[in-house]
Structure 1
Amino acid sequence: MKNTARAGRRTVTPIQLAILTLCAGFNAAAHAQSAEPSAPAAQANDSGKIAEVIVTATKRSTSLQKTPIAITALNAQTLEDNHVQTLLDVVNLVPGFQATGQGDHGVTTMTLRGIGNDSAKTEYADPEVATFVDGIYSPRPEGATALLFDLDAIEVLRGPQGTLWGRNSTVGAVNMQTAKPVLGSKSGSVEAGLGDYRRYGARGAFNIPLGETAALRIAAVHEQHDGYVDYQAFNVPSLADQRAAWKASGGADAAFQPINPNLFVRTGPKYSAQDQTAVRLSYLWQPSSQLRWNIAYERFTDRGTPSMNLMQSPRPGQDFWSALIDTAPTLKRDSDSVRSRLEYQLNPDMQLTYIAGWSKFDGSSTFDQDAGADLPTSFSTGGNHQENNTVYSHYTNYSHEVELQSLGNREIDWQLGVYYGAEDNGIRFDIPIMNGTQQGTVGWQGSFIQPKETVKSSAAFGQATWNLANNLHLTGGARYTHDKRTNEGGNGYTWNYDASVPQVPVNPNIDPTRPGQGYNPNVPSNTGEFIGHKWTGLLRLGYDIDRSNMVYASLSTGYKSGGLQDGGRPYFDETLTNYEVGSKSSFMGGKLLVNNAIFYEKFRGFQFSSPITNADGTRGLATENADGAKIYGLESEITARITPSDRLMLALTFTPHAKLGKLTGGSNDYTLPPCPATNGATTCLDVTGHSMPHTPKFMAQLQYQHVFRLGEGTTLAPRISAHYETESTLSVFDLGAEDRQKAYGRADVGLRYTRDKWWLDLFVRNVSDEKIKTSAFNPGPHAIWLAQYQPPRTIGFNTGIDF
């Protein structure tokens, strides 16, 4: 595979310098006290059964096999074996889970059990799959949710989690558990790795005891690789051909300009590059067995580049992983987060917990939306230049939650809680669209400015399990949520085609709110207020057949608040009712685990968001409530220790029905027919009964590992992870083969060598170099199909030491 190089000399950031210093300290301390044995070593000493997995899905620490919820729990070793760095890497490990990378914001959106929202990239739209870090809601996927590092586990909860986890967990929740400090332990780990596309990475963690009652954990990571997308050269038409094309369009000779070839990018950082760094400081104070306080500060920076749109059918003579680029990629994301959890045991039967979180984010980006699909024939004909530029994006959010719960095994196990969370968002998003090239005339352009958009959410909840007998458990719960959303001063500013104003692309140096700049504000503005409230609940019956087998049946609901869209118009709540029966079984003395779930989901008010052109020529993001959707299917997870040296995991998902209710949707990302009505989008399509996007009828994930024991403390462990899924649509419009991902299979392989505390891991991801689409669209005058793709085949190694 071709190895791309990045021109210029890298500047070492302060965080990267801190990581290098930290890693140097780790190397110096590499002969310190030992930590827990590595996974292969631990397996050699156990009885051959699968180790018990503890989860926090019920906001208690319970055994996975005793928890009557459909959960996939990925421990630290599984994450490391599968080279998991982002949420996109988790997709192949969880039944019914899909995630896509959206280029213009560099944000990951998620789909679970057929429900998701590809527009949940900014404050405009919320996700249906909620993400949490240490139980604290993360409204935007940044920090630990963007670059996964130093985690104890990731828990993916499938089905509505509205009672305990709250709003926006409509179809599920992803909870990431960071590694916590340990009292009295002086231990750590350090690793580094290289790969193709000039990939290199470094990670480290160090646990420092601070007396008998406190400990500090320092964790840091840096991951980087060059972009996958090469720059194409543009064969500029001859001056005579340019002039002829210009005159054919009705242009005057005096206004003719030759195409400037310097407008097309050939050097510098490429699209789809990674350059992310994070540091986390975690502090534990435990003065007594009754009081425990964990607090952590995390800093995350991203200086990579957005993922690029590619032509599904490349032009003759051009590589697939290449594009004709006239907008250089930039991506700047910085976030700071503080997370705190204070637990106080009031007495042997009761515990009080206070959970608080705060985060701040700043970001900007530039993105070539047109991807060079249309070639310009003159400076203002033939081509279609479009940028999607986030001039700034700021948000601050904080949350407080107080929980009171019973301890131990009682006739009634209960918990109560209150919650308050708030967000303050601001964004400016520019879209210049020029005819031909940046030199050309304005096709359309606008600037969307939301200086202040707020969310305030408060809730009270309770859940109790009545242990009717030792083997029969009835659980009920309810949550009341009140939401208030405001937009203060937000509006879109559209080019007014004033002949006296120079036709240049909108950019940060232009203030479109000032008169005389060539822009008119949209009428009405986005200013407004939305207030909503909702009850969600849970009813579940669990029955333990014996110590190794249990079954359950549940009825649960989830909720996502309505809000305001462009023009100040409201959209309304969406709710999901989920009917589910499941089983969890252990066979062969704990060497084989089989977990199953059958679900039926009934969706009401599904929020469909998309960029549209209004009848008056203005543009904006519109959100419509579909009548609903109906989805049903089966999930199965099988884990087996075939021998003490062989481990197999199999995840299966069968979703025979995932259909959208009544909806007529519009979108500028697709070439659609004109709308019959004039009060909405100019183009639209009736998608009633269409399949929900990103929902193949069948998915299977197989992981297998064998451990060869080469001597005392020395092992060699080859592994394979294979994924298969049937065809799925990529949008609600389902516009044919280009708007679908065909059935495919892909495999990742690895080989891990361990000797005492040192290890070396080799890996190849996407071995057969499959081209797997995550999204598709065909905008522009010639409706050329573009798509975003999972990464191509990558090869590399990591090596590290635990001490």
Structure 2
Amino acid sequence: MKYSHSALYCAIVAVLVSGPASAADADAEPSQALDTINVTATKRETPLQKTPVAISAISADTLDKQRVMTVADITTLVPGFSATTQGDHGVITLSMRGIGNDSAKTEYADPEVALFVDGVYTPRAEAAAGLLLDLESAEVLRGPQGTLWGRNSTVGAVNFQTAKPELGNLYGYAKLEFGNYAHIGARAAINVPVSETFAFRVALAQEQHDGYVDFQSPDGQLPSLEAQQAAYLASGGTLATFKPIDVGLFVTRGEKYNAQDQSAARISSLWTPNENFTWNLSFEYFRDRGTPNANLMQQPRAGQEFWSSLVDTAPYLDRNAYALRSRMDYVVNDGVMLSYIAGASKFDGRSDYDQDSGVLVPTSFATGATYQNDRTNYSNYESQSHELNLRSTGENAVDWIVGLYYAGEDNKIRFDIPLFNGTSQGTVAWQGSFIQPKQTVDSYAGFGQATWHLSDAWRLTAGARYTRDRKENIGGRGWGWAYNPDVPQIPITPGVQPGPENGFGLGAAGINDGRYSANKPTWLLRFDGDLSEKAFVYASVSTGYKSGGLQDGGVPYKGETLTNYEVGAKFTFLDRRLTWNNALYYEDFKNFQLAAPITFVDGSRGLGFSNVQGSTKVSGFESELTANLGDADRVSLVFSTLFQKKLGTLRYAGSNDYGGLPPCPPESGIGNCLDVSGNDLAHAPDVSLTLVYEHLFRLSGGGTLTPRISAHYESESWLSPFNLGDGDKQDAYARGDFSLRYSPAEARWWCGLYVNNVSDEKVRTNAGRTAIGNGAFLYVSQYQAPRTFGVNFGVDF
């Protein structure tokens, strides 16, 4: 608490010493007009208010004030945008306008919302959990971006623009933050001009806090020795094989779940040897030694705290990511520019995760509960992308761009699941090892787009892209328990290669070798124009596409397509002190891909993909308003509503995360499933609203004090396509964040305080359930962070 008191003291003293602002100070204030924001949604720089795309542009200043650390932190600032956390891989998955894929977290699955950094595609969902370091802006494009942005931007794309080096100026900044849960954050950057043609920039970040989830003690929860014996005998065991429950199997100390320990560094350079050529090159490293987010019981056992769990698998996370990004721009002549945007990345990660979530307490060493450790022994992803485009510049009767694109991946993973009855010393319920030594992805595309200026006020745009995708699975095997009681029943160890000869009783349940290929055109037709200097309108029809692929067993699944019909209007009022942007859309989704871990009819397990038949239809309205009210008040309003959000036809939807689903017909190939046809989409509230308000107190000494309030509301939403009831739902909620910042006059430092999730709301981001008999279930969920608070300081130099 001493940090909070010190920041509050700093703010109060500033007010008392400085006093109210004078009339002379007020007269000296600059224009109250909003800054002109330029975006790159059309692969050329255009003003936001004249860009015919539903796009949210978040500046570096807003990112700083909102304390944006990961992509999940910007979702409340964008209409129809949401992020969920997925525990066993510790990743963030994204949904937009109700469409997303919670299982886009393996070597098989791709996201519907594409992530780009400086225009370079980032293919793996794990990257979304990385720190957002030294950004210039974040652009979130809503609706399919299949023509210009292409790969997997089915329902939208997010492009982070990093801060670039500048010639001629030596400057930098540093920030430091302290908070509850032993939070420490530090960020710094420096821009160094070396010559008239070369400069570089270095940025660093470290964010860490203790875990939010406490360990429950097994003392007082485990049954007596006599009760353990009785339970074991009732299950068919004998006293000769009975073992008391070993309390040492439960984790009671060490790193807790939901902890953060992340570091990032980037060095970037700018070289402009002449006025026609510019080369931006950067290398980035990201390190994660935190812990995964735990699944928590929605209703804790009596006597247990909400933020706690009975843990039998210690949390572990070890990730490293490397990225090289390059952009070369060459002015061919006064009207043409050639650009080459390329990137290469490498990711490796390992993790251990308590998938059983401590929901049930064992009644003996082999009964009453389950032990499940979801263990990623290794995951290695290597990717590259290349885009070469040629485009017109300046004022033309026709603006055009043509380009070629290639993206490739080479991925491998081993994922083990020991699943035991009772405890890890119990009997095998099932265990398996999924080993994918090589999965490759190759995607080729050519694209073009042209905008014809029909007059000074009206424009017609047409664009097309042709994509060819190839995927290959080489040597992939799913090893599963062969139900051999003669084999010693112990959890499989990471260093052992599965097979009949190794003593773990695993057989090759799935052979995943296979090839997939598909071709698909996507296109755009758009009409836009200026009704006046203050009003801009557009109407468009566009398509998006995400390729299919291969699932466990080498079985292919289909690619998905989306057609989006949209009209939009952007207004600028009150001498540019107010902007109001709106979009009305209707989306028709074909072959929407749903993925989940499933159990097949023969008892084997794997990740299954299903294509929703018919049309999945989504329609809605989005609105963003930003205004400077007077010379001291700024308000932003973000609103979205969905009119329609229904799945098409899918009779056999299964998921091992949802125990107790009814048996499936044999022809489905799935052990348990549910008909989800016509159900509501997950993570798709009918209404979401964010209001941000800040007031600038100008002090007589020239300093400023700025309180900022951010309030977010969402109506209820389902957490899965099963729509199973209250446990599978996030109720309507409202949460707020508060910050206060003091900046002294003629000084280059500031100090402040913050409180996030002021009312300590418990907001679910996913759900799962365990069947406990007689039609009853216990539900678990992951949650947004509890209330956090602290102080921060910054200096510019």
Residues 1:728 and 2:712 aligned together: no
- The match for 1:505 is 491
Matches of 1:524 and 1:792, distance apart in 2: 41
Matches of 2:486 and 2:122, distance apart in 1: 47
- The match for 2:462 is 476
Deviation at 1:519, TM superposition (A): 3.9
Summarize the alignment of residues 240-639 of structure 1 with structure 2, pairs less than 5 Å apart: 240-513=226-499, 515-627=501-613, 628-639=615-626
Deviation at 1:543, TM superposition (A): 1.3
Whether the 8 Å contact between 1:88 and 1:101 is mirrored in structure 2 is no
**CA root-mean-square deviation:** 1.6
Task: Pick the aligned partner of 2:792 from 786, 794, 798.
Answer: 798
Deviation at 1:237, TM superposition (A): 2.1
What is the number of equivalent residue pairs in this alignment?
Answer: 766
- The match for 1:94 is 78
Matches of 2:240 and 2:356, distance apart in 1: 29
Task: Pick the aligned partner of 1:719 from 704, 708, 713.
Answer: 708
**How high is the sequence identity, in percent, across the aligned residues?**
55
Deviation at 1:145, TM superposition (A): 6.1
Residues 1:69 and 2:53 aligned together: yes
Matches of 2:770 and 2:610, distance apart in 1: 21
Task: Pick the aligned partner of 1:213 from 168, 173, 197.
Answer: 197
Deviation at 1:507, TM superposition (A): 2.4
Whether the 8 Å contact between 2:71 and 2:128 is mirrored in structure 1 is no
| Structure 2 unaligned regions, length at least 5 | 4-24
Whether the 8 Å contact between 1:511 and 1:517 is mirrored in structure 2 is no
Whether the 8 Å contact between 1:225 and 1:273 is mirrored in structure 2 is yes
Provide Cα deviations, 1:252-289, integer angstroms capped at 9, x if missing partner: 11111111000000000000000000000001001122
Residues 1:230 and 2:214 aligned together: yes
SS of the counterpart of 1:262? helix
Residues 1:673 and 2:657 aligned together: no
Residues 1:769 and 2:760 aligned together: yes
- The match for 1:740 is 729
Whether the 8 Å contact between 2:104 and 2:125 is mirrored in structure 1 is no
Matches of 1:419 and 1:509, distance apart in 2: 40
Provide Cα deviations, 1:198-228, integer angstroms capped at 9, x if missing partner: 0001100000001110001000000000000
Whether the 8 Å contact between 2:91 and 2:129 is mirrored in structure 1 is no
Deviation at 1:502, TM superposition (A): 1.3
Matches of 2:358 and 2:176, distance apart in 1: 37
Matches of 1:48 and 1:462, distance apart in 2: 40
Give the partner amino acid of 2:433.
Answer: S
- The match for 2:118 is 134
Provide Cα deviations, 1:565-602, integer angstroms capped at 9, x if missing partner: 00111000100000000000100110110000000000
- The TM-score, its normalising length taken from structure 1, stands at 0.94
Matches of 1:397 and 1:55, distance apart in 2: 26
Residues 1:752 and 2:744 aligned together: no
- The match for 2:641 is 654
Deviation at 1:87, TM superposition (A): 1.3
Matches of 1:55 and 1:694, distance apart in 2: 28
Whether the 8 Å contact between 2:479 and 2:509 is mirrored in structure 1 is no
Matches of 1:362 and 1:45, distance apart in 2: 51
SS of the counterpart of 2:354? coil
Whether the 8 Å contact between 1:496 and 1:518 is mirrored in structure 2 is no
Provide Cα deviations, 1:529-584, integer angstroms capped at 9, x if missing partner: 00011000100000101111111000000000010000111000100000000000
Give the partner amino acid of 1:209.
Answer: P
- The match for 2:188 is 204
Give the partner amino acid of 1:766.
Answer: N
Matches of 1:375 and 1:58, distance apart in 2: 56
Deviation at 1:496, TM superposition (A): 1.3
- The match for 2:632 is 645
- The match for 1:32 is none
1:722–1:445 Cα change, 3 Å: same
Summarize the alignment of residues 178-197 of structure 1 with structure 2, pairs less than 5 Å apart: 178-197=162-181
Larger mean CA deviation between 523-532 and 649-658 belongs to: 523-532
- The match for 2:33 is 49
Matches of 1:141 and 1:205, distance apart in 2: 26
Deviation at 1:713, TM superposition (A): 4.4
Provide Cα deviations, 1:647-671, integer angstroms capped at 9, x if missing partner: 0000110102100000121111112
Residues 1:702 and 2:691 aligned together: yes
Matches of 2:594 and 2:408, distance apart in 1: 24
Matches of 2:771 and 2:436, distance apart in 1: 26
Whether the 8 Å contact between 1:152 and 1:177 is mirrored in structure 2 is yes
- The match for 2:17 is none
Whether the 8 Å contact between 2:77 and 2:690 is mirrored in structure 1 is yes
Larger mean CA deviation between 267-276 and 755-764 belongs to: 755-764
Give the partner amino acid of 2:165.
Answer: P
1:739–1:194 Cα change, 3 Å: same
Give the partner amino acid of 1:656.
Answer: F
Residues 1:119 and 2:96 aligned together: no
- The TM-score, its normalising length taken from structure 2, stands at 0.94
- The match for 2:15 is none
Deviation at 1:46, TM superposition (A): 2.6
Whether the 8 Å contact between 2:296 and 2:782 is mirrored in structure 1 is yes
1:771–1:144 Cα change, 3 Å: closer
Whether the 8 Å contact between 1:498 and 1:518 is mirrored in structure 2 is no
Deviation at 1:107, TM superposition (A): 0.7
Whether the 8 Å contact between 1:143 and 1:299 is mirrored in structure 2 is no
Give the partner amino acid of 1:657.
Answer: Q
Matches of 2:197 and 2:263, distance apart in 1: 31
SS of the counterpart of 2:233? helix
1:42–1:503 Cα change, 3 Å: farther
Matches of 2:63 and 2:170, distance apart in 1: 24
Matches of 1:405 and 1:171, distance apart in 2: 25
1:43–1:600 Cα change, 3 Å: farther
Give the partner amino acid of 1:475.
Answer: T
Provide Cα deviations, 1:600-628, integer angstroms capped at 9, x if missing partner: 00000000101110001100111011023
Matches of 1:144 and 1:479, distance apart in 2: 26
Give the partner amino acid of 1:652.
Answer: F
Matches of 1:771 and 1:679, distance apart in 2: 37
Q: Which runs of 4+ in 1 moved over 4 A?
A: 41-45, 142-145
Whether the 8 Å contact between 1:615 and 1:678 is mirrored in structure 2 is no
Residues 1:784 and 2:775 aligned together: no
1:285–1:145 Cα change, 3 Å: farther
Give the partner amino acid of 1:716.
Answer: L
Whether the 8 Å contact between 1:191 and 1:203 is mirrored in structure 2 is yes
Whether the 8 Å contact between 1:394 and 1:425 is mirrored in structure 2 is yes
SS of the counterpart of 1:789? coil
SS of the counterpart of 1:469? coil
Matches of 1:345 and 1:323, distance apart in 2: 60
Matches of 1:365 and 1:711, distance apart in 2: 55
SS of the counterpart of 2:211? coil
